[in-house]
Structure 1
Amino acid sequence: MAPRRAVRLSPREPAHAVCVVGVETPVDVRNDVPKGAKTFGVSGSSEVKVYMLYDPARVPEPAGRARWPLDADVDVVVVADTVSKDLNDLRVKVSYFESQEAGALGHSMLYLTGVDVSLDADTSRTGKVKKGSVDKKTWRWGSRGSGAILLVNCDRDAVHGSREDLHASHLRSLEDLQDMSPVVLSCRGPDELFESHKLFLKASLPDSRRLRVFCARGGTSLSNYKQVLGPHHQSYEVERRPGERDIKFYVEGLTFPDTSFSGLVSLSASLVDTEALSEASLFTDSVTFRVAPWIMTPNTQPPLELYVCSVTDAHGHNDKFLKDMAHLALKANCNLVVVPRVENRNDRWIQDEMEFGYIDAPHKSFPVVFDSPRNRGLRDFALKKILGPDFGYVTREIEYAGASGLDSFGNLDVSPPVTVGNREYPLGRILIGGSFPKSSGRRMARVVRDFLQAQQVQAPVELYSDWLSVGHVDEFMTFVPTSDQKGFRLLLASPSACLQLFQEKKEEGYGEALQFEGLKHKMKRSINDILADKHLKRDSIHVQECIDWNRAVLKRELGLAESDIVDIPQLFFLKGAYAEAFFPDMVNMVVLGKYLGIPKPFGPLINGRCCLEEKVRSLLEPLGLHCIFIDDFLFYHQLLGEIHCGTNVRRKPFTFRWWNSVP
């Protein structure tokens, strides 16, 4: 706030002022002085501290009875140490002298009323409101940082209602208060003072559209909680009742950080003298909040729930696939959620429809589902079936054009925590697929990219996925947790590794072993035939170049070494200008802790065992992983998707708190 105007003193009549405890009040001792006065001295009651402000290099401190020259560059400030019991019960006396030895020529009296006015929130990030924070206006990142945090109230605690709680202008459930950040307005002082002085709670116009404040008046009725600030209310005259010392408020966020919103919002409380000519504000205290970002969880986080859709098509019902998922979830000690056809409308691509994440504040944390703009059969599932008590919802819609395939969330992933040079990313980095740099290919919608970027804590990296027919990053990469010091590996699809494996098997005498053995409706291809296929070889070289370009980006942006990457044998073929998987794409797997649900590749059988499966086992099982190969050929692979596309996993949040990072 602006420096307070000094209180002017006069020997002819006493002056009166309201002094906020702990806040300096400047005093003008030169406005009206007795004739002949050359020095002055100041004294005060025990509850008042008096400070002389001066430059020691230019003004010598007086000896003896501390009489200061009136013509010296010395300012006087007073600070009340305690709250007054009555009006004007604190005293400051200024005496004027002609010389050091002479008696006083006159005195000016200042009577103070000490009040305690402060606006406090959980700026120390302990989960509780603590009074007395030094700098509540500045929000600082890092483990030594400070600043209050708001959650977007995007769950639905009310039993009745179809949308998030933030859409309601009134409190719908007492449980909803747990999602909000408490704020306390201290207003301690003589009751008579508040008959001529008012308290106002305020937010700027932009901030009032991004938060909502409820005033709490105790009790267990919803009527005890009144909305006082929000989209249509910037200012609130606080009703202070006689004897009231603290007034409690609850604050909720209404929107996530985005391209036009940094995430910072502020509240201020002002003490206003209503008897002054222009209702002068005597003191303002402010608190700055940061709205908590939406955070993704990588494959290295333990699974909580596995989602999969029950569907029917020309091949029948995917019962066998659902049983395989149930078996996998049981092994991983993970809850299985089967979405019935009436809810998915025969849309099986649940990974593409949504992404699970969470929001976190010192006082509360809950999962939040990010609904993609693809809007196909599953378009209503997240809003209607996942949004609920302590389960939030957020989406971004594309206004001017329909969603492209790259807007599906199979094209959205996040790395485990990484360190790149001296820069730490303790929550990992978001990965999305797009076009080759400076080309005019497909990209994820700007509204989604802007949203992800604005969260700050998982700085996104854009990869090149437009070379794929579907165009999703999960078609050529995934992360798996490992039991070693590194804690994870990046798996990349590799045509080169596949051709090398097949060449080795040919040289071992297995050239006539057949790819797709055991599949009724797929033409079988021998290893010799595959290696002799010039078109497939050409396509493989092209795809490998695309993956290698991404490999270099991932190494650079995630700080990875070659030893952190595992090449998974995989072949692709070009259909027009875009690539599709030649056999079920094994990196498009579902990761449930150490258990991996991998698309069964139906590779050449050698001594009764699939050589592709055996190769993958040899690469991953030494890392402490269990490879479970699952047939997804008819219901997923033939429709240009695999297991990861047809499943979704909610995972445990990070134990690391996002505000301790430094973006």
Structure 2
Amino acid sequence: MVDVVSKNNDLTCRLNFKDPMQFLLVVGTTLRVNLDRDAPPGCKFFSVKCSQNVLYTISPTPNETSHLSPMLLSGNTVLHIGTKRHFHPSPSYKEKLTIRFYGEKKAFIGDAQLELVPLELSLDVDADRDGVVERNNPNKASWKWGPDGHGAVVLVNCDRESYYHEKPDCQTKGHKPNQTALKDCATMVLRTSGPPNLSGGYKLTLHISQGDSECIRVYRDETEDEARITKAKMPIFIRQCVNEFPLVLSSEVLSQEVPYPGPDQELIFYVEGLRFPDKDFDGLVTINLSLVRTSRKGVPETPVFTDKVVFRVSPWIMTPNTLQPQEVFICSTSDNYQFLKGMQDLVDRSGHKLKILQEYKNRGDRWIQDELEFGYVDSPYHRFPVVLDSPRDGDLDYFPYGDLLGRDFGYVKREAQRDAVSSLDSFGNLEVSPPVTVNGKKYPLGRILIGVAFPTTTNGRNMTQVVQDFLWAQKVQEPVALYSDWLVVGHVDEFMTFVPAPDRKGFRLLLASPHAGYKIFKKLQNDGHGQAKIFEGLKDEKPVTVDKILSDDRLRLQNEYVQDCIDWNRDVLKKELGLDEEDIIDLPILFKLVTKGKQERAVAYYPDMVNMIVLGKHLGIPKPFGPKVNGRCVLEAKMCSLMEGLGLTCTFIDDFASYHKLLGEVHCGSNVRRKPFDFKWWNVEL
């Protein structure tokens, strides 16, 4: 037998005139014979005869129409031998081809006989992303984005199927999937047709590169093998300990022989993702199947034929406020009873599920928005939520890892050096827009929004680079950098959020606006309500009149600065999200500057109403304790008039003592797991 090279390429082989030669011919490949080089001495002519399923071409093309008659042999005559395009090999069938050589005056010299053993061999994946592993898809070895794209998808197996393990399955050394865990793995199938076995030193191997081995593991399904027959005879308690899905490829095993299934058979493999796309990993992995041959003992193997498939690892995807809530999370502390009561009422009205983390779990850490971000992974065969754990590592740090991680609930974290972590690494500083279109470019999964230092700042705070790199590498929600370092806490949720809307783009961007706040207070003064007070009725808080606020020149200058910062972000958001002014609503919120270290930065003067929780049509808004006219808070009334026009209802939650005084609000103290997008990420056009 001789070697065969990759599909659509020729394998050069040499003729033997003593005995018939047997060639293993993989369907889709060709054998290349240089007739002049292999012809016996004195040969001038040749002829070709073959069985019906063999196809061949001669170059250069001879003048003779019948190849059974002697044809002139030139110095560059080459014979290319293959099979019919849709030929299906038979287990016992051999094709034959005879090359006859002639000398002067077409005198017969000798024959070279070839016995061709056809073999159909393909490594298959779900390249068209319909949930079915089709046979030999022509696009299986590449990736293309978009609705007309192709390429298989694999999930990072970052949930935890067994509670005996501490880490996600993808990080558990020696992890081997069981029947339950297979839903987290992509299916890959080896299909063969041809001889009942591979003889002559041939074998099949799967292999991957060292780099890709850090990103995936491959297991083989033995449930239909003889191992299963043997296992069925074992007692149940022993049977459960026998692994039916042995590891084939990993970082320790880059290449391994796999059984030849036989005629019209298939062998099933399961592919497990280990890493999300990141700065040093583009998300693409390649798995190769090779037919190799060792001609004699002590001689290295040579590749005969190689087929390959490409997978892309699913990105981690964030969910915006416009998606349906599934579960709301808040923390119980010794001082937040009023907040809990308001949140319970809101969630009850919205009809969603509320989970309250008691103090023994939150350990006094109330800022659940800052500790984690909910997202998900998706594929044609499975999807599940995945929590991204922030580098903040507060007292809530155990919750995402210890409570959320489990069966069909994944976990991912990017570790940062402690001295590099700042307040901007808390995930109140990580948001995502609803779907947008910008200058004709569609972002059907929205765009991630992060806060950083102003570009000209030399000593500002930034989100740590490892987290930024991770977010950029996911590709499908291209991040936008906003300027948030002007705030004491430094989070984008302190000056912006999104709410659903029935018109235009399907949402509105809400922005904090000191200008809108001063406009309301000035109108109150003009209408004779200058003595109306903010903070009235609050314990341990001195009320302040509208006249006092308007006469405070320093406060006004501070808010002009804040407005400039927000306007800078406004321009970025309009440009990067394709927004018009009609898509933006200004909320009346004042700020004040306080000194932290050597820097003056801003905090909300009264509860920051933009820092809200969005549950469908229900909004949970920090109660602003603004000035009252005829017994009603003017700021609440303004919020209601702005939101009710969008069909949204406002619930004002008292978070003053337990959150606002600690430089946070309702959004900072809550988190929402939402339903994933219906849109499939692989249909994004990049």
TM-score clears 0.5: yes
Asked whether the 8 Å contact 2:350–2:616 carries over to 1, the reply is yes
Distance in 2 between the 1:61 and 1:642 partners? 88
The percentage of counterpart residues that share the same residue type is 47
2:356 — aligned with what? 338
Q: Given the alignment of the two structures, is residue 293 of structure 1 paired with residue 315 of structure 2, yes or no?
A: yes
1:211 — aligned with what? 216
Q: Within 5 Å, give how 1:364-383 maps onto structure 2.
A: 364-383=382-401
Distance in 1 between the 2:108 and 2:350 partners? 88
Secondary structure of the residue aligned to 2:570 is helix
1:552 — aligned with what? 571
1:202 to 202, 207, 210: 207
Q: Which amino acid aligns with 2:74?
A: D
Q: Given the alignment of the two structures, is residue 71 of structure 1 paired with residue 74 of structure 2, yes or no?
A: yes
Distance in 2 between the 1:422 and 1:72 partners? 59
1:233 to 226, 245, 253: 253
Q: Which amino acid aligns with 1:289?
A: F
Instruction: State the 1:320 CA deviation.
Output: 2.7
Q: Which amino acid aligns with 2:291?
A: L
Asked whether the 8 Å contact 2:49–2:68 carries over to 1, the reply is no
Distance in 1 between the 2:49 and 2:340 partners? 84
2:518 — aligned with what? 499
2:338 to 308, 315, 320: 320
Q: Given the alignment of the two structures, is residue 640 of structure 1 paired with residue 640 of structure 2, yes or no?
A: no
Secondary structure of the residue aligned to 1:117 is strand
Q: Deviations over 1:339-367 (max 9, x none)?
A: 11111001000000000000011111000
Asked whether the 8 Å contact 2:192–2:263 carries over to 1, the reply is no
2:28 — aligned with what? 22
Q: Which amino acid aligns with 1:28?
A: N
2:530 — aligned with what? 511
Distance in 2 between the 1:75 and 1:516 partners? 94
Instruction: State the 1:468 CA deviation.
Output: 0.1
Secondary structure of the residue aligned to 1:509 is coil
Instruction: State the 1:39 CA deviation.
Output: 4.7
Stretches of structure 1 that go unaligned for 5 or more consecutive residues are none
Distance in 2 between the 1:272 and 1:14 partners? 22
Question: Could you say if the C-alpha distance between residues 112 and 575 of structure 1 is closer, same or farther in structure 2, counting changes exceeding 3 Å?
Answer: same
RMSD of equivalent CA atoms:
2.2
Q: Deviations over 1:448-484 (max 9, x none)?
A: 0011011111111111000000000000000111111
1:176 to 172, 181, 186: 181
Q: Within 5 Å, give how 1:443-482 maps onto structure 2.
A: 443-482=462-501
Asked whether the 8 Å contact 2:26–2:118 carries over to 1, the reply is yes
Instruction: State the 1:53 CA deviation.
Output: 5.6
2:552 to 530, 533, 540: 533
1:523 — aligned with what? 542
Q: Which amino acid aligns with 2:196?
A: D
Q: Given the alignment of the two structures, is residue 282 of structure 1 paired with residue 304 of structure 2, yes or no?
A: yes
Q: Which amino acid aligns with 1:83?
A: P
2:506 — aligned with what? 487
1:622 — aligned with what? 645
Q: Which amino acid aligns with 2:22?
A: H
Q: Deviations over 1:314-347 (max 9, x none)?
A: xx3x233222212212222211111111110010
Question: Could you say if the C-alpha distance between residues 195 and 105 of structure 1 is closer, same or farther in structure 2, counting changes exceeding 3 Å?
Answer: closer
Instruction: State the 1:157 CA deviation.
Output: 1.1
2:145 — aligned with what? 141
1:193 — aligned with what? 198
Asked whether the 8 Å contact 2:338–2:655 carries over to 1, the reply is no
Instruction: State the 1:293 CA deviation.
Output: 0.5
1:363 to 381, 386, 409: 381
Distance in 2 between the 1:636 and 1:32 partners? 88
Stretches of structure 2 that go unaligned for 5 or more consecutive residues are 229-238
Q: Number of aligned residue pairs: give it.
A: 653
Asked whether the 8 Å contact 2:197–2:260 carries over to 1, the reply is no
Instruction: State the 1:564 CA deviation.
Output: 0.7
Q: Which amino acid aligns with 1:197?
A: Y
Distance in 1 between the 2:198 and 2:352 partners? 61
Q: Which amino acid aligns with 1:581?
A: A
Q: Which amino acid aligns with 2:284?
A: L
Q: Output the TM-score relative to the length of structure 1.
A: 0.94
2:235 — aligned with what? none
Question: Could you say if the C-alpha distance between residues 223 and 64 of structure 1 is closer, same or farther in structure 2, counting changes exceeding 3 Å?
Answer: closer
